[in-house]
Amino acid sequence: MNNEVLKLMLRLFLPGEYVKSVFDISPKALKESGIKGIITDLDNTLVEWDRPNATPQLLEWFKEVKEQGMKITIVSNNNERRVKAFSDPHQIPFIYRAKKPMGNAFLKAVKNMNLKKEEVVVIGDQLLTDVLGGNRSGFHTILVVPVASTDGVFTKINRKIERKIMENLKRKGMIQWEE
Q: How far is CA 26 from CA 32, 35, 40, 65, 111, in A?
A: 10, 11, 14, 8, 23
Around Cβ 10, how many Cβ atoms within 10 Å?
17
> Is residue 153 situated within a structural domain?
no
Average pLDDT over residues 79-85: 96
> Is residue 13 situated within a structural domain?
no
> Is residue 156 situated within a structural domain?
no
> Is residue 24 situated within a structural domain?
yes
| Share above pLDDT 90 across residues of the chain, in percent, rounded to a whole number | 69
> Is residue 10 situated within a structural domain?
no
Q: What is the pLDDT of residue 161?
A: 82
Q: How confident is the model at residue 178 (pLDDT cuts 50, 70, 90)?
A: low
- pLDDT exceeds 70 at position 177: no
Q: How confident is the model at residue 73 (pLDDT cuts 50, 70, 90)?
A: very high
Contact 74, 92 (CB under 8 A): yes
> Is residue 25 situated within a structural domain?
yes
> Is residue 137 situated within a structural domain?
yes
Contact 120, 37 (CB under 8 A): yes
Range of the domain at 27: 20-147
- pLDDT exceeds 60 at position 48: yes
> Is residue 104 situated within a structural domain?
yes
**For residues 122, 126, 128 and 129, what is the CA-based torsion angle, rounded to 10 degrees?**
-50
Average pLDDT over residues 54-66: 96
Average pLDDT over residues 91-112: 96
Q: How confident is the model at residue 22 (pLDDT cuts 50, 70, 90)?
A: very high
Q: How confident is the model at residue 172 (pLDDT cuts 50, 70, 90)?
A: confident
pTM exceeds 0.75 for this model: yes
pLDDT digits (tens, 9 = 90+) for 8-21: 777 888 999 999 99
- pLDDT exceeds 70 at position 111: yes
Q: What is the pLDDT of residue 153?
A: 64
Between CA 25 and CA 95 the distance in angstroms is 22
Between CA 115 and CA 123 the distance in angstroms is 16
CATH code, domain carrying 26: 3.40.50.1000
Name residue 89's amino acid: P
Between CA 14 and CA 31 the distance in angstroms is 23
Q: Work out how many domains the chain is built from and give that number.
A: 1
Q: What is the pLDDT of residue 96?
A: 97
